[in-house]
Structure 1
Amino acid sequence: MLHKPQARLIAGLVLATCALGTVTGLASLKLDQAFEHSAHITRDTTHRIEITLRLQKLLQRAVIPVHHYHIEGSSVQREHFALLASQIGDTLAEAQEPHDGAHPEEFAEIAASWQTIRSQVTAILAMPDPNAGGLRAIHERIHGLDVQVRALSDQVGLLHDADRARTRSQLASAARWNRTLTRVVLGAFFLTVLSLLLGAFSIMRSQAVLRELSMRDALTGLFNRREFQARLEGHLDQARRHGQPCSVLLLDVDHFKVVNDTYGHDVGDRVLQELAGLVSGVVRQTDVVARFGGEEIVALLPDTDEHVALVMGDRIREAVAAHHGFSAPDGTAFRITVSIGVASFPSDAPREDALIRAADQAMYAAKHSGRNRVARRPA
């Protein structure tokens, strides 16, 4: 027969065990809910970011058919634009679908602006001869379209930034809730502590993935245009303070339309991926390589004058021209070439936007002088 102290101790142990089991069970349930909530935030945000990144990519390509039509006058560009317009429309429709975290009203203005741009592009592509009204007039129209598309892409970028801010707030709130649960679990059961640590690691990893996703181009893995422009601004500030040069290489695949038309866009995408690896393999570790839009890749060369930049550009051009790794779906190997424009700070331009324009003009000079060339902006 148990004595009263023993009975009280056993009863206390039983009560403590029950309390521990109850606390552990409730904590585990709440912890599971917290993890699912964080995972839901990550999934939803990744979906929204993917939509905005895809929309930016498509918008950046929207005026390319106009440029090609102006240069070549091929009616095929109407079909290319029709495909791009369809993809942009589908993406905008997806962005406005109701789902958790959706903000369709933010895309209403973008959709309206896109319809205006689409009408202007369609009107130019419908012209039998886009140059009939004079080169200056068509250049002004195309430049105006470029400005509108860039502004619309930047507007999408602002929505992208707003999504990131909302995500940070949501994840911060989730993290606070998880810390509260951690304190409960630490006093309840070691395995629960271990589960919480694994959950926290999962959240941190998801945050790192989101940060990296916001900086990188989804197709090539290079930095995206927004990240490149931010880094260019920082490097030019440093160059101004220390009186150092800084150069930009802007390269474009020659006859990339032919690759897409002949082998399909999947092969075109693989060409861009392979090209990204070639460029990254030639430049220095301190250089910044990004996909600028379409088949254009840009490289920032800090502390580099125009003479060294021209040498670097020629190394890239030779590496691409000599590469045997491009292949069609049937295994047939083919080669590509690139035209590269070089612009340097401060000799060619004093500001970020002017430096990019100078490199773009130099790249078009390389195109017009025969392609597979490296050129500076014409004097």
Structure 2
Amino acid sequence: MLRRMLLMLGAVIVVVLILAAFKFNSIYSQIQQFKAPKPPINVEVAESSRLPWQSRLPAIGTLTASQGIDLSVEIAGTISAVQFRSGEKVSKGQPIVLLDSEIEQASLTAAQADLHLAKVEFERARSLVDRQAISRSEFDRLNAESQKAAATVAQLKASLAKKRILAPFSGTIGISQVDVGDFVAAGTPIATLQDLSTLFVDFYLAEQQVPLLAIGQPVHLQVAAFPGEQFEGKIVALNPKVEITTRNVQVRAELANPGERLLPGMFADLQVLLPSEEPQVVVPETAITYTLYGNSVLVVKEGQAPTPEDDTEEVTEAPERSEPYLVVERRFVKTGERRDGRVVILEGLDVGEQVVIAGQLKLDNGAHVAIAEKRTLELEPNSESNAR
């Protein structure tokens, strides 16, 4: 009985030792994994470069026609003829709308007859006054009647002219707002007339930027209707006063409109080109990490590879490295203008340093990295000219 109990106890002890050995081996393997150097993190990098950089003043504006009005009638009347087609080109002096003028025509005919009679009586009185056949007062009365009749004719002709709406300048007329037979009151709009050959863009800049502005300064602008296309203009006017409420000054630029693709009222994203052009250190905008504590970049540089610890049981020789051991260093920088996917670095970075442009979220200061193949879109080759 005792012998059987000893055998069972021995078997239990053997099983416990085997399980303990397996557990120890598992724990030891995990410890060795933690001690082993972590594999490098693949990142994409770009090299900072020095490029000619032309400073610009960004602004937003609205396109307006060089000449643009809403045609309307000055006096009430009934539309007798609409002499244009919506959206067509019209020339200066071309009839647009005619109002019914039969009453005015009849009144003018009667006034012209009165004028003719007044002139005949005045000429007869002129010959009689020389012979003292009539009094001087009667002659003056007839003279006044003649002038009054002439003024009545002129007044009716002016009123009759207002029944005929003419184009004040050449341009493109809009959609008709009236039809034949409509009775319109004074001030009723007929259609818009816009000269699209040349456009203005009005925008506002802060009063601190007024010394940087000058007549003839070039302006580049883009509109949402033609993404990626750039239009050029120049400043033609500066408002001589600053708006009290906003402390901004109104600026007007002029640009040609070949093909009349741009339309008044379009929203314009524009930049005023300043005359100064200096080389600046620039990096891709994706390299910048923006935080409340400041803007920073991760600079890739060579570091010291970790050495194996001396207390390990198995000491193996570290393999020779054909590539340098790279780590990242977080560096705070002072940024400037951003444009075309690039940002100017004013302080904190030198030319030729490599910065991480993708994968910053999984990195920390001192992390081991490896340069991977670029997958992010690079700027086009002509981006240097865009920076200017």
Q: TM-score range by the shorter chain?
A: under 0.3
TM-score normalised by structure 1 residue count? 0.22
TM-score normalised by structure 2 residue count? 0.21
Give the helix-richer structure, 1 or 2: 1
Give the strand-richer structure, 1 or 2: 2
- Specify which structure has the bigger relative contact order, considering alpha-carbon pairs within 8 angstroms and separated by 6 or more residues: 2
